[in-house]
Amino acid sequence: MSAQDRLHCDVLVIGSGAAGLTLALEASKWADVIVVSKRAASEANTKYAQGGISAVLAPDDSFDEHVKDTLIAGAGLCKEPVVRAIVEGAPARIKALQDLGVEFDMRPKGDGSQFESGELDLGREGGHSKRRVAHSGDITGRSVEAALLAACQASPRIRILEDHMAIDLIVPARFGGNDRCVGAYVLDCATSPEPGTPEADARTARVLTVTAHATVLATGGAGKVYLYTSNPDVASGDGVAMAYRAGAVIANMEFFQFHPTCLYHPQAKSFLISEALRGEGAILRTIDGTPFMKKYDPRADLAPRDIVARSIDAEMKRTGAEHVLLDITSQRPEFTKARFPNIYAECLRWGFDLTAQPIPVVPAAHYMCGGVAADVDGRTSVSWLYAIGEVSCTGLHGANRLASNSLLEGLVMGYRCAKLLEEKMGDRSQRPAIPEVPSWDAGAAAPSDEAVVVTQNWDELRRAMWNYVGIVRSQKRLARALHRINMLQEEIREYYWAHLVTRDLLELRNLATVAELIVKCAMARRESRGLHTMLDAPNTDPRMQRDTILRRGTLATLDGV
């Protein structure tokens, strides 16, 4: 390996969403930062977040009420100190985004609201007792991602490696050193041609050895482990899988949130229909037009996501329908078009006019509430390895995430983790020495001429997860899923060691690991709580008001983290 294939930095950030870019921008004030982005730097879950960022900004709201709403949604598993720290950090993060140029929607002058002109136009979503969701139209995530990315690209101390994917974390204990993380092996995807192409035989993939004093996982979620998801293709659980292989504690993977409303259309790729529509009066109906949410929860269409998703699933099973309907036709057409311009245009593209007709919707995998066990500042169980945003499990979300607390979590944790690292590393003399690290060794691996193995296993894995580990589960379904996952992992493991790595192969390997973790955690929690619903254990068990934890080489156990 040449010197060009070895890089070093103070802080290595894996992932380029809101959490990773916030940390990179803040840390660049005192450190050299490398950001690894699997595809284009803008391609992250953040970009696809529509609803907004929850924050206490209105005169009739309070931190206590935001905390209370979050705790209720979390079904007994939230850690209140973590919730309070992130809730109280929200207003400053909104102001910081405004300073970067994010234009949040403002209330028009003379609209008759309780807010004075010039105040933010705050939305309300399911589970919130107040209007507290700051938004930029219905493309808040895109606006936030663009502003953070532009600021990072302008920093001389931040280097962004696009089309690069982390393969594994570098933990010296594996080769006789200390039990800490000192960076990652990173695949240059541009030099990793697809199997079966002429280039595959002529080039070998370039793998960088990137060392760092601190390594931060900001890789987002794992929605692609399910057949139907609102997530982009990058959401393959890379951070959780790498952390698990490195020996980190993983927690609460059974709690996977299914967004209640994605557009039902074979070509729309589960386009997300924001919960904010229901916050503005949209009603869920059965195919025959009957509203149904009031019979499941007194909050009706503004119940938390876990309740709404289960209710839709129950109605679909009861009636045999392939979808339900979301109806916002009671709103003025001009309001709907102005408030949800992107959603309106996308629905129109597929032949549905939001302002004139109810639209077909179904639940889809959306958000991973479990992840790498971490504290509110991102510390994990592995020294000098940090996890922030969706990849982490801090106790903010508990058994179910409250709407619009996701971007909030990434922004606040990114800032807090950067401040922690500054305390530990701001003085250059305090930065830990980096030991000698061996370069990546491909061994006898050869280019693959059987890419069909990857695509076949990818499809089989995601279908098994959708059919057996979806919104409603049972021990029998989970056992079937684990049996199939174990067989697939054997095939993947054999293929991985025999062939040169590609992005598709790495994603499949990571998804199989994440699938195993989800199933094992689900089997350990013999109750129904939040996002985890068991047919053969329909009640909540007070004895299980604890985290489900996993560490490599151990089975899932219920314990405090």
Identify which of 220, 215, 216 has the alpha carbon closest to the alpha carbon of residue 390. Answer: 220
Q: How many residues does the chain have?
A: 561
> In 291-429, which residue ranges form alpha helices assigned H by DSSP?
305-319, 333-339, 341-349, 406-425
Phi-psi region of 176 (alpha: psi -120 to 50; beta: other; left: phi over 0): left
Residue 349: Cβ within 10 Å count:
12
Strands 33-36 and 158-161: parallel
Distance between CA atoms of residues 508 and 237, nearest Å = 10
Specify the 3-state DSSP secondary structure of 295: helix
Tokens at residue 149, please?
Answer: 């990315």
Q: Which residues contact 99 (CB under 8 A, 6 or more apart)?
A: none
What span, in angstroms and rounded, lies between the C-alpha atoms of 516 and 555? Answer: 11
Pairing of strands 371-373, 392-393: parallel
Catalytic residue among 132, 305, 339, 401: 305
119 vs 349: CA distance, rounded Å:
33
3-state secondary structure of 293: helix
Q: Which amino acid would we find at residue 542? A: P
Residue 410 φ/ψ, nearest 5 degrees: -60, -40
Dump strand ranges (E) for 23-107.
33-36, 53-54
Continuous segment of H or E residues that includes residue 491: helix 475-498
The answer for residues whose C-beta is within 8 angstroms of residue 102's C-beta and 6 or more apart is: 136, 143, 144, 147
Whether 462 is a known active-site residue: answer no
Structure token pair of residue 143 = 């606006």
So which residues are the catalytic ones? 305
